[in-house]
Amino acid sequence: MVGRPVTGGDAGVHRCGLVALVGRPSVGKSTLLNRMVGAKVSITSRRPQTTRYRIHGILTEPGRQFVFVDTPGFQTRHRSRLNARMNKAVREALGDVDVVVWVVDGARLVQADRDVLALIPARVPVVVAVNKVDALGDKAALLPRLAGIAALRDFAAIVPVSAEKGTQVDALKDEIGKALPEGPPLYPEDDVTDRDERFLAAEFVREKVFRQLGDEIPYATSVGIDRFEHEGRLRRIFASVYVEKPSQRAILLGVGGARMKAIASGARRDLEQLFGGPVHLEVWVRVRKGWPDDEGALDRMGY
């Protein structure tokens, strides 16, 4: 990286590494990844188990490149083959990373958090992101909690943050940056993710399903892209949402297809922003019985 300005007094050294974000479901891993990358590449919702795939979010700064690895929330319930694959993705992500960010909720530390911590190999530096501090009613309660966390392992740093508001996220990034190994960048500097537009399109549709539907339906759905065409600046995208039962299909469509229209237009707006050009998006709903336990279907869906 000849001729680039360098940060942090690390003159002449370039740092780059894989940084896995791990934690129990819903602690804010994906929100934090998007915040650090500065672009929305990973989908988020208030429902646990929103993230199903490992995805890289890339941030290139002078002298360093962070390759953040978002992972599914590690689960102890909802035991389907899909869940088993999601847990496997977490374990695999931990196998070959340089730094781990263990994300916890500042409001409470529970056994499920400690179960995730136990998965992290002893050799890897761990930075703790104590997230959602904006939502804490009693800020004084945070101090003993931080002390309790510090006693669990020899951490590289413990940083209270708000992924949603951006509070202390730069401080977190700097602590992670210090733990990055020396090395050349893994990705071109303008890249924000390793995933292609097809993948992102499917994920943004799935995010809207997660955000707009009641309790059970999101877990019964998956999204596939049937066709993705470029026509000048326009992208034409044809997607299918798979559900397990006809009754779920009816709920997803809504009266006169209204719910599906809202899902498609929400996804289209996000995709236009991410791709920086117009998008035409059509979404069908199809029934595929038992897909979360069907190994062949899961293979085809890329889990």
Ligand X SMILES: Nc1nc2c(ncn2[C@@H]2O[C@H](COP(=O)(O)OP(=O)(O)OP(=O)(O)O)[C@@H](O)[C@H]2O)c(=O)[nH]1
> What residues line the site for Mg ion (CB under 5 A)?
29-30, 50-51
Q: Which of residues 167-226 bind ligand X (CB under 6 A)?
A: none
**Distance between CA 197 and CA 74 in Å, rounded?**
26
Tokens of 111: 């056994």
Nearest-approach distance from CB 52 to Mg ion, in angstroms: 9
Residue 55 makes contact with ligand X by CB under 6 A: no
**Distance between CA 253 and CA 283 in Å, rounded?**
10
Nearest-approach distance from CB 199 to Mg ion, in angstroms: 15
**Distance between CA 256 and CA 253 in Å, rounded?**
7
Neighbouring-strand partners of residue 108? 105
Tokens of 128: 């703790």
**CB nearer to ligand X: pick between 104 and 237:** 104
**Nearest partner of 59 among 79, 42, 76, 77, judged by Cα:** 42
Coil/strand/helix, residue 46: coil
Residue 45 makes contact with ligand X by CB under 6 A: yes
Residue 73 makes contact with ligand X by CB under 6 A: yes
**CB nearer to ligand X: pick between 77 and 123:** 77
Nearest-approach distance from CB 218 to ligand X, in angstroms: 10
Nearest-approach distance from CB 267 to ligand X, in angstroms: 16
Residue 30 makes contact with ligand X by CB under 6 A: yes
- Find the binder of ligand X among 91, 121, 135, 230 (CB under 6 A): 135
Q: Which of residues 147-176 bind ligand X (CB under 6 A)?
A: 162-164
**C-alpha of 35 from chain center:** 11
